Amino acid sequence: AQSVTQLGSHVSVSEGALVLLRCNYSSSVPPYLFWYVQYPNQGLQLLLKYTSAATLVKGINGFEAEFKKSETSFHLTKPSAHMSDAAEYFCAAISGGYNKLIFGAGTRLAVHP
């Protein structure tokens, strides 16, 4: 069964600094991977998804993620953090059929001036 691990439950960066949120998956077959963002008291919004096309995936709000099969990783990055990026970020993978999503534990991103 698929599982998703997010390293670091809390990440704090300065405004303008690089954002790096880590995600590793476990699977022997190419996965379908997603990054979702959850702003306070809101639902989840898709940032980007990997579906076996290009390994570097660009998403909304300047985020991108690189799929690395050799490292079973799908880390999320943004070159320059903005205060509005402060939120909870979830990495997720399809597990089995029917679009069943398995989520990582989430990483809370704090951005300070």
Partner 1 sequence: DTAVSQTPKYLVTQMGNDKSIKCEQNLGHDTMYWYKQDSKKFLKIMFSYNNKELIINETVPNRFSPKSPDKAHLNLHINSLELGDSAVYFCASSQLGGSAYNEQFFGPGTRLTVL
Nearest to 23 by CA among 45, 8, 5, 49: 5
Q: Residue 94, interface with partner 1 (CB under 8 A)?
A: yes
* Among 7, 24, 27, 49, contact with partner 1 (rule: CB under 8 A): 49
* Counts for the chain of helices (H) and strands (E), in that order: 0, 11
Q: Residue 59, interface with partner 1 (CB under 8 A)?
A: no
* Among 43, 53, 70, 113, contact with partner 1 (rule: CB under 8 A): 43
Stretch that binds partner 1, among 11-19, 28-36, 57-65, 67-75 (CB under 8 A): 28-36
Residue whose CB is less far from partner 1, 13 or 91? 91
Alpha-carbon span 31 to 57, nearest angstrom: 14
Stretch that binds partner 1, among 13-21, 46-54, 57-65, 71-79 (CB under 8 A): 46-54
* Among 7, 17, 77, 103, contact with partner 1 (rule: CB under 8 A): 103
Residue labelled with tokens 């509005």: 84
Alpha-carbon span 16 to 81, nearest angstrom: 5
Paired with 26 in beta bridges are: 3
